[in-house]
Amino acid sequence: MLRFETEEQELLDGLVDAIGSLPEGKAWIAGREIMLTQRGGRVDAIIEAMIAGRSLQLLVEAKREAFPRDVREAIWTLSKHLAHQNETDRNVVPFFVARAISPGARTILREEKVGFYDLGGTLYIPAPNTFVYIDRPVPPKDSKAFGSIFQGQRARVVDEIFARRPDWVSVKQIADDAEVSRATASNTLSEMERREWVEVEGAGPSKLRRLRAPRLVLDAWTDFLADQKPLKFDRYYVSSANVEELARKLDRACDEANAAYAVTSEAAAQAYAPYLTSVTQLRCRIIPGPQRDLALERLHARPVSEGWNLAVIETRARGDVTVGERIDGVALARPLQVYLDLLQGSGRAKDMAAHLRKERLEQ
């Protein structure tokens, strides 16, 4: 049940209105907090409906928001309710409502033939003779909540456990390596559990997790980036014969300045999984602060607006610069970070992202 009754009422009223907008559709709330049978438990609400002359009864479970684990619990509860229904002369549909339902949760509900509705206007009614499916995007406000796992320190937690697949890891390990608090690591991993992206072993302080669905993580992060602003970066020109020479110069300059760095985007993707004949520009991250300025000074990098061959992506913290491998003496960002940066690029960047994903990220 929802914590606040007014939110549940908003969802039920929205569902009634959505059904009412269908051809020959009308619906009404027959009851709230209904005890079905002594053994069958109670449902949050029962909705009676008529659609195109056919009668339906919806047994409704309600949540604020829904990830895969949430809907699986609701499906189990609704299945128990249906098992104790005595009526056989009408369509009784198990139904789920929430302010927002994640794409993964929607897929599970459809597979299990459980109807659903959210405040974005999505409506799915899988009745035998009254099938309805109106697919709408997640409401913007709730979409941001679903995507918050890919921002700030939480994103570093997701990146860290992705890099460690298929190893079992503890909260402490992830927190230490991602340079975040244990609370942040624990909360992020718990949310990944709700999304069914990780599997769990043990309990309490000895609880371990490992990534079980890398493709789902990649898909969700890709969807999140589609609505984000482009990366911010400063453009420079450095005298170099080619990108390979520029990368070696960058490595020397950062070493002398004691500045952590990582090459990303096309140049890194080409090193991890060759795709293009050549790359003419280099994008990287350098730890923010005086070390970054000193590295650029030693590199003799000249700020330009056109004709650049070096782009330094904006970073805010040391944890924003993570190294995956060193290839030919150059520090490369992790393949996941390279993939995400390519998705926000132009030209052949997205083609390179798809190739890198296939070769390095989906195993």
**Which of the residue ranges 39-48, 102-111, 117-126, 263-272 would you say has the lowest mean pLDDT?**
39-48
* pLDDT at residue 2 in the model: 46
Q: What whole-number distance in Å separates Cα of residue 211 and Cα of residue 117?
A: 30
CA geometry: angle 160, 166, 172, nearest 5 deg: 45
Which among 154, 157, 159, 134 has a CA at the least distance from the CA of 144? 154
Q: What whole-number distance in Å separates Cα of residue 333 and Cα of residue 330?
A: 10
Q: Give just the sign of the alpha carbon dihedral 287, 293, 295, 299.
A: positive
pLDDT above 70 covers what percent of the chain? 91
| Domains of the chain, CATH where assigned | 5-138 (3.40.1350.10), 142-225 (1.10.10.10), 233-361 (no CATH)
Split at pLDDT 50, 70, 90, the class of 75 is confident
- Tell me which of 148 and 94 has the higher pLDDT: 94
- What is the pLDDT averaged over residues 323-330? 93
- What is the pLDDT averaged over residues 49-56? 90
Average pLDDT, the chain: 89
